[in-house]
Amino acid sequence: MAAPFLIQAITDLLADTPAQGKTLLDVSCKEGDVLRALVPRGFTLRGTNFEPEGPAIDAIPVDYGVDLRRPLSYADASFDVVLLVEVIEHLENHRVAIGELARILKPGGVLILTMPNIMRLNSRMHFLFSGYHKTKRRFIPFVTPLDQAHRFHNYPIDLPILYYLCKQSGLDMEHVGNSKVKPYSRLLYVLFGLPVHLYTWYTLIVREKDEVQREENRRLCRWLLSPRTLMEDNLVLQLRKR
């Protein structure tokens, strides 16, 4: 079940996206909470589910047995909007997943992608003292069979790597949505926000010798140093296909 604050963030990002005559696919839609919330908008809705079979969701068609670790069965440029909500951290091959989402998205179409935010300062402090990023779940039980490993948050992705994969797939980052912020994260931002800004800027801009890469790093800094990136529990990203 999608958290209410995530549903709200997604609907807010799509508020200015025309819905009439537009197709929207929610990949791995689970119980369909996001799809139900979007019914009043007027999109032609569809969902997918990893499970082999199940029911439709309030008359919204759902394609079962869809494994995002493999090529999707949809034709190129099939959808105007694609959603991937709290899924990518379960996938070991981010490149395949993002490439497939970009492929089925129409030129000019929108991808909304949400994931646990390992770039927030809270997660960075956890990494500093423990050696591993803070995600929603603890370590996977080591007796878990490999074919069940996808049920855990084993594969969180750094924002620079995500940025690179999306760029190579023809997806440009446009907005960071509004997610949940804990008081502790606000405190960390007050204490460490300025040093993080300065060090990131020094690393990506001052030390970079290649002019082309430096310009790309400037664009990346916009997202890395966003207060939402540094504080929010989840990243809610809107990307657009070139």
- Which CATH number do you get for residue 236? 3.40.50.150
* CA distances from residue 28 to 72, 90, 114 in whole angstroms, order as listed: 12, 11, 12
Residue 74 lies in a domain: yes
Distance, in Å, from the CA atom of 182 to the CA atom of 168, rounded to the nearest integer, reads: 33
Residue 145 lies in a domain: yes
Residue 222 lies in a domain: no
DSSP β-bridge partners for residue 114: 85, 236
Distance, in Å, from the CA atom of 2 to the CA atom of 23, rounded to the nearest integer, reads: 21
CA angle 34/19/227 to nearest 5° reads 60
E strand or H helix at 212: helix 211-224
| CB 80, CB 106: distance < 8 Å | yes
DSSP β-bridge partners for residue 48: 63
Neighbours of 95 (CB within 10 A): 13
Distance, in Å, from the CA atom of 181 to the CA atom of 228, rounded to the nearest integer, reads: 8
Residue 186 lies in a domain: no
Quote the tokens at residue 3.
Answer: 């958290």
| pLDDT digits (tens), the chain, 242 positions | 789 999 999 999 999 999 999 999 999 999 999 999 999 999 999 999 999 998 889 999 999 999 998 999 999 999 999 999 999 999 999 999 999 999 999 999 999 999 999 999 999 999 999 888 887 666 788 999 998 988 888 899 999 999 999 999 999 999 999 999 999 999 999 999 999 999 999 999 999 999 999 999 999 999 999 999 999 999 999 999 99
Q: Which of 239, 242, 87 is nearest to 177 (CA)?
A: 239
Prediction pTM value: 0.94
Domain count, the chain: 1
Q: Radius of gyration of the chain from Cα atoms?
A: 18
* Enclosing domain of residue 21: 4-120+131-181+232-241
| CB 85, CB 6: distance < 8 Å | yes
Distance, in Å, from the CA atom of 49 to the CA atom of 197, rounded to the nearest integer, reads: 40
Residue 164 lies in a domain: yes
| CB 83, CB 147: distance < 8 Å | no
Residue 106 lies in a domain: yes
Residue 190 lies in a domain: no
Q: Is 73 helix (H, G, I), strand (E, B) or coil?
A: coil
Region of residue 163 (phi > 0: left; psi between -120 and 50: alpha; otherwise: beta): alpha
Residue 217 lies in a domain: no
